[in-house]
Amino acid sequence: MGSITISKVTKHFGALEVIPPLDLHIEEGEFVVFVGPSGCGKTTLLRLIAGLEDVTSGSVAIDGTDVTQVAAARRGLAMVFQSYALYPHMTVRENIGFPLRMAGIGKAEIARKVETVAETLNLTGHLDARPGQMSGGQRQRVAIGRAIVREPKAFLFDEPLSNLDASLRVNMRLEISELHQRLQTTAIYVTHDQVEAMTMATKIVVLRSGIIEQVGSPMELYNQPRNLFVAGFIGSPKMNFITGEKAAQHDAATIGVRPEHIALSKDAGAWQGAVGIVEHLGSDTFLHVNVSGAGPLTVRVAGELAVNFGDTVFVTPDANRIHRFDAAGNALPR
């Protein structure tokens, strides 16, 4: 249970067309991540699926049943927001049990289900606390608990981790992934975060201006981006793009090479350049190398590297990892 089919869905806000006709099929059990620049329609698409927003035209089906006219509360989906949306005056136990109480489920069954969910999310010791007494991560876990308790057909997450600090984000990311592994419930997840998209998704949907630019597994998008937009969007640091003479040598309008696919040497290599900013991350070093005829390139080197601003170095792109694009920005065969 939990397949979702979006057919020819459009969404207008007044004169503004946010989603032109869009088709997307999500298989049961998938973890689908919507990514794309701010304002591209990720949240709108999620809300259309949830039923929190009416489609202008087209249809949404869950498990093969058309739910376009079905109210949000009756679609069997659970939404987790970045703002948690917990009730401050209720305890954790009451917050998690709330959707069941609304559904008219008996007290004993609510108590049993809430206990099970609390165990799943390591919240057992906090059931009598109120949200105001908890950390951001714990609150988000309660919000997830409230979603899980309904045993929904799918979870819809709207940037659930963006209010958390960096280390907590990493923990919660792992927790959500682990939860998905265990429950195997379909999940749709909206994020700005590259790493979240790459690490959590079974399938990434890259959106631009309400249009799907590419759908695929994280590694498909990383290895075979269909166009310049996807190539530039997936991967961090970003892929380097080179035009002009050096691209023409590869029979392309633009070539792209990821920072991790450029070798660096102090002695010899394909292109000579001058070292700009050097960023030491400990595990990696990111160098910005100014290559004449190619512009500034970002190069990623594993570990520490003894180079300084202004040093002369040589860079060599891995010929097998060069991406070629035509003048319209579409990928050419390797």
In the complex with ligand ATP, the residue whose CB is nearer, 7 or 162, is: 162
For the chain, the straight-line distance linking the first and the last C-alpha, in angstroms and rounded, comes to 39
Q: Helix or strand or coil: residue 89?
A: coil
Part in contact with ligand ATP (CB under 6 A); list of ranges 11-19, 104-112, 116-124, 244-252 = 11-19
Please pick, from the candidates 3, 7, 10, 43, the single residue that binds ligand ATP as defined by CB under 6 A: 43
**Residues whose CB falls within 8 Å of the CB of residue 249, separated by 6 or more in sequence, listed in order:** none
Looking at beta carbons, which pairs linking 223-230 to residues 24 or more positions away fall under 8 Å?
224/331, 225/256, 225/323, 225/331, 226/330, 226/331, 227/325, 227/329, 227/330, 227/331, 228/254, 228/256, 228/325, 228/329, 229/329, 230/206
In the complex with ligand ATP, the residue whose CB is nearer, 151 or 193, is: 193
13 binds ligand ATP (CB under 6 A): yes
In the complex with ligand ATP, the residue whose CB is nearer, 82 or 223, is: 82
Q: Helix or strand or coil: residue 144?
A: helix
Select from 10, 1, 152, 6 the least CA-distant residue to 66: 6
205 residue type, one letter? V
In the bound complex, what is the minimum distance in angstroms from residue 150's beta carbon to ligand ATP?
24
274 residue type, one letter? A
Main-chain dihedrals φ then ψ at residue 203, nearest 5 degrees: -145, 130
In the complex with ligand ATP, the residue whose CB is nearer, 36 or 152, is: 36
Select from 11, 16, 15 the least CA-distant residue to 59: 11
Task: Pinpoint the alpha helices (H) of 121-208.
Answer: 136-148, 166-183, 194-200
Q: How far apart are CA 76 and CA 121, in angstroms?
A: 21
Interactions with ligand ATP, residue window 137-196 (CB under 6 A): 192
Q: Helix or strand or coil: residue 13?
A: strand
In the bound complex, what is the minimum distance in angstroms from residue 85's beta carbon to ligand ATP?
16
Part in contact with ligand ATP (CB under 6 A); list of ranges 36-44, 85-93, 215-223, 299-307 = 36-44
83 binds ligand ATP (CB under 6 A): no
In the bound complex, what is the minimum distance in angstroms from residue 160's beta carbon to ligand ATP?
13
Please pick, from the candidates 4, 18, 79, 253, the single residue that binds ligand ATP as defined by CB under 6 A: 18
Please pick, from the candidates 2, 9, 41, 51, the single residue that binds ligand ATP as defined by CB under 6 A: 41
44 binds ligand ATP (CB under 6 A): yes
In the bound complex, what is the minimum distance in angstroms from residue 329's beta carbon to ligand ATP?
21
39 binds ligand ATP (CB under 6 A): yes
Question: By rule CB under 6 A, what string of x and - marks binding of each residue 189-228 to ligand ATP?
Answer: ---x------------------------------------
283 binds ligand ATP (CB under 6 A): no
Instruction: Find the farthest-apart pair of alpha carbons in the chain and give their distance in angstroms, rounded.
Output: 75
In the complex with ligand ATP, the residue whose CB is nearer, 209 or 243, is: 209
Name the site residues for ligand ATP (rule: CB under 6 A): 13, 16, 18, 36, 38-44, 192
